[in-house]
Amino acid sequence: MPVETRSIRDRSAVGRFPSVTLGFGEDTEEEKEEPEPEYNAEKDNACRWWLRKVCPCCCPKSNDDDITDTVVTAIDDLDKGEETNGEKPVTGDGELDGNRHFRELHSHVFAFIFAELLLKVQSIDLMKSKSGQNRTEHHTNLYQSDDFVIRRGQTFQMWITLSRPFNPDTDKLHLELKTGPLPTVAKGTHVIIPLVEDLEDDRWEAAVVKQDDKRIKLSVNSLPTAAIGRYQLIVETNCASGKAVSTHNPANDIYMLFNPWCEDDTVFMDSDDERQEYVLNSVGRIYYGTQNQIGVRTWNYGQFHDGILAACLYVLEKSGTPPSGWGDPVNVVRVISAMINSPDDLGVVEGNWSGDYSLGTSPTFWSGSVEILNEYYKNSGTPVKYGQCWIFAGVVTTVLRCLGIPSRTVTNFSSAHDTDVSLTTDVYLDENLDPIAYLNTDSIWNFHVWNDSWMARPDLPPGNGGWQAVDATPQETSQGTFRCGPASLAAVRNGHVYLKHDSPFVFAEVNSDKIYWQRNVDGTFTQIYSEKKTVGHFISTKAVGSDERNDITHLYKHPEGSEEERIAVETACRYGTKAQTFSSPTAEDVSVEVTMEGEGPKMGGDAELSLILRNSSSEQRKVFLHSQVAVMYYTGVHKATVRKDRTDVDLLPNEGDTLELPYKDYKDQLIDQAALMMTLTGRVKETQQVLATQFSFRLRTPDLILKPIGKPVVGEKMAVEISFTNPLPQVLKAVIFHVEGLGLLTAQKINYGDIGSRATVSLTEHFVPTLPGPRKLLASLDCRQLTQVHGVTNITVEDKSNWSARTDRRGDKKSFYRIPSEPSRREEPSAAEWVQALRG
């Protein structure tokens, strides 16, 4: 028969628990008194009657038609203690063991009381609103996600709602954070945060700063050396009634980042302007070209874009390195340097310098990191095709800024690639002064792009902290892996190449001497010439707070030719494989120089260079001159020779000569950066002086012209007109436009088709801005015949509510958009509203 739910409050005292309410029901004033159960000796024994009187749910009244008695036990575990050989004791003739059921009732009542007294966590509020105190103070409010993102070494606030008011005299509480596959207290990946009265710096602690009935507000402090990453949060409570542990909720995971605002963090940066630029700026400038023709393009780093933080942490996780090492920026930067390229660890970007990009995307087509990182993350770690040095560097900047390490993208013009750790750039010539291709493995790239990251270097002697060079382009291996850095710029500048990591390679990139060797008849080689000022020019990065170019060459090397610079070169070379190789003094009464007027030749036009030979002696000189013009990859790798000349020059004092290169000679060989190189070698007959120099130049490409159309307002449709003129006397085939802008529109590919010779075209792309403030809209063009064509326009987007209020005051609109003081809350309809809706 059904069991009635009854209250035993205000009943007469029975047994040891005279007035306990078990909470099975509440008495009301309308409730009628039911008669007390009467004792029937024929049907009941005394114990059963008493149990039914005190706890009808545990011992309901039996139906006369039932064949056997039914016992309702509140706590199953008590039966186990009475079992014998796996069987429960059996009562004879339906009789119950009174003592046993008294213990059951005793446990039932106390379990209920203890459950009420146990301190349990009901909810956790991390106060993770982007506009809230935590994310604003931690400078993480720009991350476009609802995750709780904070920086280490800084306090954050949180609310905990408990099952009853917290009593600090009798209750205990602590937080636990866990990260990585095997969290360990000793390794800092399992953190136990105790509750204390007053917080102290440089330790994990929490303190109650406010209590509101069952809610307590905690201020939590983290270590400035804590490992970065995603932490799982749980709360454990202890009181006299026992221990309770909250259930892990992924929505309460904590994302911990490096903190350039914290003086105790090794990535601390003192200047607020520099923090704004190197941590918070999501758009940058990347330089390319040659030292005489510096080009620039805008790059969307997008480190705060939704999903990028998760992608960056995925890159760290995929490296397989232990999370216990993720508190050291030196280690993290080294891991990222390896993981952005793909040769040995299936990293983010696959490099390609072949000129054939049919299986992926041309490197010149990318204009930001967001697409690349999202594609890598979405495809579970499949390398993205394709990239070259500026792509690797752009993605590294995104990842490091996202993780909280100040970073910038750096371009070095005339950048050497030393393949044998000689710390010199060697050029081998045969008996006729022609280059020996198979020996010339060293090269000088027209430009090379890498990164600087900012951190202290406690692992190096004092004075070597600050900017560190990091290079993710896979050139040479470091400890068996394609990576480079971090190398201290101070160490590189002074030639201290014995300091880690990879300082010799970086030094050779920016300050190696170029040594020319000639093969002798017996097969040996003799040093015949050296150039001391060929490598490392106009090292460039975006200026702080503006789009201007900032020359930082002085951070990498002393002024060329100075005593300090020569000492640094000699110091470095002592640790190279050709320690005894230094320039031999030679007569220098004849010099050679190559110059170019203005900004240089345009794509589609003839290239005119001026070759100036000067004789500073008082006598006539006869020079045997060899000249060669070749199309080059920007890395300095030879593609094709387009012109060779040999001539004898009778040189009078200060005499010069001019060389012209027609477009038809090079048009079919150009690739990627439209780069060419002139190599000059020669010998003066009278003095046996050797002349040698190389001159790199590129053909300038036109820009895309972007013209915004319409009022830029959040949520309002507008457009951009993109214009382009084909500079070539040939048709551009299968042209693709690429448009994107953070807060304006996601990356779009537009398959335009063919563009005729010298033709001007335009297209319009519509979009709806999503974020207010100053924005940049980027566009690029790509086709087989022409690359490195791009453009940018600045757009200042207004907030819709503010714009609506202004237009209303001007009378341009009839309606006025009300700006709520706080986010509106959708309330449930009342009963009357439901009835009205049903009637309607």
Complete DSSP assignment for 375-443: HHHHTTSPPEEEE-HHHHHHHHHHHHHHHT--EEEEEEEEEEE-SSS-SEEEEEE-TTS-B-GGG---E
Marked catalytic residue, from 262, 312, 389, 402: 389
Which is it for strands 156-162 and 283-289: parallel, antiparallel or unpaired?
unpaired
* C-alpha span between 384 and 373 (Å, rounded): 8
Closest alpha carbon to 302 in 368, 376, 375: 368
- Helices 389-403 + 308-318 axis angle, to 10: 100
pLDDT score of 355? 87
Q: pTM value?
A: 0.73
The binding site for Ca(2+) consists of 511, 513, 560, 565
Three-state SS across 714-744?
CCCCEEEEEEEECCCCCCEEEEEEEEEECCC
Check residue 797 and report its DSSP letter.
E
pLDDT score of 687? 82
The binding site consists of 511, 513, 560, 565
Which is it for strands 513-519 and 690-698: parallel, antiparallel or unpaired?
unpaired
Marked catalytic residue, from 471, 502, 672, 782: 471
How many CA atoms, within 13 angstroms, populate the side-chain half-sphere of residue 458? 8
* Weakly modelled stretches of the chain, pLDDT under 70: 1-116, 579-587, 604-605, 607, 632-639, 654-674, 803-840
Question: Tens digits of per-residue pLDDT, 575-616?
Answer: 887 766 654 445 578 888 887 777 777 776 676 777 778 888
DSSP states of 528-589 as a string?
EEEESSSS-EEEEEEPTTSSSEEE-HHHHSPPTTSHHHHHHHHHHHTTSTTTT--PPP---S
Closest alpha carbon to 448 in 276, 652, 690, 635: 635
674-696 CB burial, b ≥16 within 10 A, e <16: bbbbbbbbbbbeeeebbbbbbbb
pLDDT score of 294? 94
Residue the block writes with tokens 């750790």: 421
* C-alpha span between 680 and 534 (Å, rounded): 14
Which is it for strands 513-519 and 424-429: parallel, antiparallel or unpaired?
parallel
- Cα R_g (the chain), whole angstroms: 39
Closest alpha carbon to 259 in 378, 150, 409, 392: 150
> Catalytic residue at 448?
yes
Check residue 771 and report its DSSP letter.
S
pLDDT score of 312? 98
First to last CA, the chain: 45
Marked catalytic residue, from 417, 448, 537, 738: 448
**Structural element, H or E, at residue 63:** none
* C-alpha span between 691 and 528 (Å, rounded): 9
pLDDT score of 360? 95
- CA 688 to chain CA mean position, Å: 56
Token pair listed for 704: 């895309």
Q: What are phi and psi of 317, to 5 degrees?
A: -65, -40
Residue the block writes with tokens 């690797």: 392
How many CA atoms, within 13 angstroms, populate the side-chain half-sphere of residue 107? 14
- Helices 308-318 + 329-339 axis angle, to 10: 90
**Structural element, H or E, at residue 500:** none
> Catalytic residue at 389?
yes
388-415 CB burial, b ≥16 within 10 A, e <16: bbbbbbbbbbbbbbbbbbbbbbbbbbbb
**Structural element, H or E, at residue 688:** none
pLDDT score of 813? 39
**Structural element, H or E, at residue 25:** none
* C-alpha span between 812 and 780 (Å, rounded): 37
* C-alpha span between 236 and 484 (Å, rounded): 44
Helix/strand/coil for 599: coil
Check residue 496 and report its DSSP letter.
-
